[in-house]
Amino acid sequence: MSFIHPETHAIRTQSERTQYQEHSVPMYLTSSFVFDDAEDMRASFAEEKQRNIYSRYTNPNCAELVEKMCLLEGAEAGHTFATGMSAIFSTFAALLDSGDHVLSARSIFGNTHTLFTKYFPKWNISHTYFDVNELESIEALIRPETKILYVESPTNPATDIVDLTLLGTLSRKHNLIFIVDNCFATPYLQQPIKFGADIVIHSATKLLDGQGRVMGGISVGSAGLIDTIYRFARITGPALSPFNAWTLSKSLETLAVRVEKHCENALQLAERLEKHPKVRQVRYPFLPSHPQYALAQKQMKLGGNIVTIEVEGGLESGRTFLNAIEMCSLTANLGDTRTIVSHPASTTHGKLSTEERQQVGISDGLIRISVGLEHIQNIIQDIEKALVSV
């Protein structure tokens, strides 16, 4: 075969078959691996041989998942983690030294924000936030001790699109490690390494599993950086369970068809709600009304599965809307087959003031919809019925 498409890699990349010639790869639910003799054991520990020793280090199911994700993201190497947050923490902790500085987008996942503000100061690691809509001014924020540039795109929940090519160029100029949390796009829609990212992180819990079953995380990128991260992880122990790795590797087989359908449903819903009288604004990267429509078209294959709407009436209407929902789920996950609605101002961002929320693009009446794979008519019906009550 000449060119192997990502869809094919996601299905056909597989660990070697065992003597049983199984079609689907087995789960290697083992904590350790046996050695042939003293010399084999010595050479393995000395890392003269590449082989599995202990599942806190490596495991065949995790290795298969890493191999697939590297092919999908165009990365040299990777390592899997128990959750997205352990991938983020381990990546930062492995690469940063005391005194280093992180330049990060302000609109990032809430727990990542807490990591920067509450825990990194303990290790004398500082950070500065920048607004993703004011990238012109970020060069002035780079300090001699700045080591990492960090973004998510599209952002959650505002769906701002960050110009990855621009930041990739800036990172090379200033010798920064450019890290992108690609959770909302998945490698099917966007491959940040192509635009100059050094490392791509995923919460595999979201669209990569896509069925709300298991948690997982992964970091992929250049071999040297990943080796540093791997060495930190094998000592500190945030290993992904082989069971979850097996599940996630299976999930990737359907990633392309799932994401394609998620995006088709999301666009249809966004177009429909844009005309709704109770909806003040709809944001979806592939709607021509989105402020960064052109950039989204350039950077992403499709618009993703997150649609945000702003309902008339603010905080109280947001809550009323959630209470009137019948089918969609009120839950903390996203990227699931099931459509999920949430109201950030009264939940995840409830501790912030209205002004602080505005800074990260969250108005009081903002509803985030993680559009699932139910029939689009049923998704529209449920949401439009709930809108009647606001």
Phi, psi of 32 (to 5 degrees): -140, 175
Tokens linked to 320: 């009323």
Taking the complex as a whole, how short is the minimal distance between the CB of residue 182 and ligand PLP, in angstroms?
Answer: 9
Nearer to ligand PLP, 6 or 154 (CB): 154
Taking the complex as a whole, how short is the minimal distance between the CB of residue 30 and ligand PLP, in angstroms?
Answer: 24
Please pick, from the candidates 90, 156, 171, 241, the single residue that binds ligand PLP as defined by CB under 6 A: 156
Mask: binding to ligand PLP, 69-98, rule CB under 6 A, as x and -? --------------xxx-------------
Please pick, from the candidates 68, 127, 147, 206, the single residue that binds ligand PLP as defined by CB under 6 A: 206
Please name every residue paired with 309 in a beta bridge, in sequence order, or none if there are none.
Answer: 282, 367
Phi, psi of 21 (to 5 degrees): 55, 40
DSSP state of 123: G
Please pick, from the candidates 61, 191, 203, 305, the single residue that binds ligand PLP as defined by CB under 6 A: 203
**CA dist., res. 382 & res. 293, Å (int):** 27
Taking the complex as a whole, how short is the minimal distance between the CB of residue 104 and ligand PLP, in angstroms?
Answer: 12
Nearer to ligand PLP, 170 or 215 (CB): 215
Does 158 bind ligand PLP (CB under 6 A)? Our answer is no
Nearer to ligand PLP, 71 or 151 (CB): 151
Taking the complex as a whole, how short is the minimal distance between the CB of residue 130 and ligand PLP, in angstroms?
Answer: 17
**CA dist., res. 147 & res. 156, Å (int):** 24
- Considering only residues 96 to 155 of the shown chain, the ones binding ligand PLP according to CB under 6 A are 109, 152
Give the CB-side neighbour count of residue 24, counting CA atoms within 13 A.
7
Taking the complex as a whole, how short is the minimal distance between the CB of residue 180 and ligand PLP, in angstroms?
Answer: 10
Tokens linked to 354: 């209205």
CB-closest chain residue to ligand PLP: 84
Taking the complex as a whole, how short is the minimal distance between the CB of residue 141 and ligand PLP, in angstroms?
Answer: 22
Could you tell me if 256 and 10 are in contact, meaning their C-beta atoms sit under 8 angstroms apart?
A: yes
Please pick, from the candidates 13, 107, 146, 205, the single residue that binds ligand PLP as defined by CB under 6 A: 205
Residue among 390, 368, 386, 387 nearest 157 (CA): 368
Taking the complex as a whole, how short is the minimal distance between the CB of residue 35 and ligand PLP, in angstroms?
Answer: 34
User: Phi-psi bin for 304: left (phi > 0), alpha (psi -120 to 50), beta?
Assistant: left
Nearer to ligand PLP, 279 or 368 (CB): 368
Taking the complex as a whole, how short is the minimal distance between the CB of residue 34 and ligand PLP, in angstroms?
Answer: 32
Taking the complex as a whole, how short is the minimal distance between the CB of residue 202 and ligand PLP, in angstroms?
Answer: 8
Could you tell me if 109 and 92 are in contact, meaning their C-beta atoms sit under 8 angstroms apart?
A: no
Stretch that binds ligand PLP, among 59-67, 203-211, 226-234, 382-390 (CB under 6 A): 203-211
Please pick, from the candidates 154, 157, 210, 217, the single residue that binds ligand PLP as defined by CB under 6 A: 217
Total of residues contacting ligand PLP (CB under 6 A) = 13
Please list, in sequence order, all residues whose beta carbon lies within 8 angstroms of the beta carbon of residue 258, skipping any fewer than 6 positions away. 207, 210, 337, 373
Stretch that binds ligand PLP, among 55-63, 131-139, 201-209, 337-345 (CB under 6 A): 201-209
Could you tell me if 274 and 300 are in contact, meaning their C-beta atoms sit under 8 angstroms apart?
A: no
Show the DSSP H helices in the chain as ranges: 6-12, 38-45, 60-73, 84-95, 110-114, 164-173, 186-189, 223-236, 242-253, 255-274, 293-299, 315-324, 354-359, 376-388
Please pick, from the candidates 183, 273, 360, 376, the single residue that binds ligand PLP as defined by CB under 6 A: 183
Phi, psi of 340 (to 5 degrees): -125, 130
Which residues bind to ligand PLP, rule: CB under 6 A? 83-85, 109, 152, 156, 181, 183, 203, 205-206, 215, 217
